[in-house]
Amino acid sequence: MAASGEPYSVAARGLGAAPPDGGAETLREVIARAEATLAAPSARIEWRIDTDITHPGRPRPRPGLVARLAAAAWKRVASGVDVADLRDAFRHQHGEGFLEPAAGRYQVDYRAYAELRVDGRRYAGLSGSPLGPRFRDERPREEHDDPLGLLEMARAGTDARQAGAEEVRGTMCRMVAVRSGSAELTVWIDDDHIRRVRYAEGASSPGTTVVRSWTLELWDWGVPADSLDWSRLPSFRTPPDP
């Protein structure tokens, strides 16, 4: 994170506060659900990356002259796009797609921009583009910055504590705070699979707190995926050209 200060994990608060509840058995259940999820043939997914910036106790500053001029210029170039909406979309990235865990691949469409992982390679770019060196994403990524990576982190858990219950897409799930190496996750499990997993980290400096989270949500297990095209970036959420 750009802000200075000691990093922390939001999920760690729940992990430390949870009462003793047979953590070893809870951990075994999480690992079993993670293994079942990673062995599943297919599922629909939602993938979110959220960045929240707060300034506790400090009024929101008025935009400076440069910021106001930039906003005015943007409105002239893209009159139909609201600057605030664009900023919000950048801070709260939301994509939907398909995950084939057993095959180690996925597709995520954010509308106009998409990502795909296949044969151990990642691609990113304009939705619908054919795969090729131009769209190969070779940036180094942390494990939590990948849908399959988050599930692998849950399977590698070393400690777990119950953290409550919450409904995920109509299914009541147990929330579990899971320690995986030096990271802490929050995992939502049903009787068979992981339904949601989230990792969050943050940093603070005087007057500013930044928290970034990665969230994977899964549903519709065994959805037919034979028609998916793995030779190009997905475009199923991208509005067609007028």
Average of per-residue pLDDT across 17-42: 86
- How many domains does the structure of the chain reveal? 1
Phi, psi at 224, each rounded to 5°: -60, 130
pLDDT in tens, 167-182: 999 999 999 999 999 9
* Domain boundaries, position 39: 10-219
> Does residue 61 form part of some domain?
yes
In a domain, 134, yes or no: yes
Q: Is the pLDDT of residue 148 over 60?
A: yes
Angstrom distances, CA of residue 161 to CA of 16, 157, 180, 186, 210: 8, 11, 12, 10, 26
Examine residue 129 and state whether it is found in any structural domain, yes or no: yes
- Calculate the dihedral angle through the C-alpha atoms of 112, 118, 123, 125, rounding to the nearest 10 degrees: -10
CATH number of domain containing 74:
2.50.20
201: in domain: yes
Domain membership of residue 4 (yes or no) is: no
What band does 12 get if pLDDT is binned at 50, 70 and 90? very low
CA distances from residue 153 to 149, 180, 187, 219, 236 in whole angstroms, order as listed: 6, 6, 10, 19, 29
Whether 115 shows a pLDDT value over 60: the answer reads yes
